[in-house]
Amino acid sequence: MTKKKDGISVNLVSRQKLDEFSSAEKLEFILKEVQKGKVLVLEHGLTPMEQTELIAHTMKEIKQDTFIGIEMEGYGEDKPSIIQKILGVIKKPRMTVIGPADLLKTVRKDSNMIQTRIIPGRGAE
Amino acid sequence: MGLFGKTSFAFILHRIFGKKHAKIGIYGPPNVGKTTLANRILRDWTGDIMGSVSEIPHETRIAKWKKDVKVENGNSSLYMDIVDTPGIATKVDYKEFMNTFGLSKDESKQRAKEATEGVIESIRWLEDVDGVLLVMDATQDPFTQVNVTILGNLEARKLPVLIAANKIDMEDSSPATLKSAFPQHPVIPISALTGYNSENLYTKMVDHFGKKRRKKRR
Ligand SMILES: Nc1nc2c(ncn2[C@@H]2O[C@H](COP(=O)(O)OP(=O)(O)O)[C@@H](O)[C@H]2O)c(=O)[nH]1
Ligand SMILES: [Mg+2]
pTM: 0.89
Q: Which residues line ligand 1 (CB under 6 A)?
A: B 28, 30-36, 53-55, 59-60, 87, 166-167, 169-170, 191-193
Q: Are A113 and A95 in contact (CB under 8 A)?
A: no
Residue A45's H or E segment, with its range, is none
Closest residue to atom 7 of ligand 1, CA basis: B33
How many domains are there within chain B?
Answer: 1
Residue B1 pLDDT: 43
Whole-angstrom CA distances from B64 to B32, B52, B149 are 17, 11, 22
Give the residue on A whose Cα is nearest the Cα of B109: A64
Ligand 1 centre distance from Cα of residue B127 (Å)? 26
Q: Which positions in chain A touch B145 (Cβ < 8 Å)?
A: 51, 71-74, 106
What is the tens place of the pLDDT at every residue in A61-118? Answer: 999 999 999 999 987 766 666 666 676 665 667 889 999 999 999 888 877 889 999 9
pLDDT at B16 over 60: no
> What pLDDT is attached to residue B38?
97
According to DSSP, residue B19 is labeled P
For B116, the closest of A62, A106, A124 (CB atoms) is A62
Closest CA–CA distance from residue A47 to any residue of chain B (Å): 8
| Measured distance CA(B158)–CA(B216) in Å, rounded | 9
- Please report whether residue B217 resides in a domain: no
Give domain status of residue B1, yes or no. Answer: no
- Residue B173 sits in a domain of what CATH number? 3.40.50.300
Residue B76 lies in a domain: yes
B207 φ/ψ angles, rounded to the nearest 5 degrees? -60, -55
CA-nearest residue to B120 within chain A is A56
Tell me, what's the pLDDT at B62? 95
The Cα B49–Cα B22 span in angstroms is 19
User: For chain A, which residues make up each domain, given as ranges?
Assistant: 10-118
CB B52 within 8 A of CB B66: no
B109/A110 touch (CB, cutoff 8 Å), yes or no: no
- What SS3 state is found at A12? strand
* B173 Cα–ligand 1 center, Å: 13
Contact B145 A74 (CB under 8 A): yes
B94 in a domain, yes or no?
yes
ipTM of the complex: 0.87
Q: With respect to residue B103, please indicate whether it lies within any of the assigned structural domains.
A: yes
CA dist., res. B30 & res. B107, Å (int): 18
Question: B153 and A51 in contact by Cβ < 8 A?
Answer: yes
- What digits encode the pLDDT tens for the residues B162-194? 999 999 999 999 999 999 999 999 999 999 999
CB-based burial, B30-56: b 16+ in 10 Å, e otherwise = bbbbbbbbbbbbbeebeeeebbebeee
Q: Do B91 and A76 touch (CB under 8 A)?
A: no
Note down the domain range covering B72.
Answer: 19-209
> Is the confidence at residue A124, as pLDDT, over 80?
no
The answer to whether the beta carbons of residues B145 and B158 sit under 8 Å apart is no
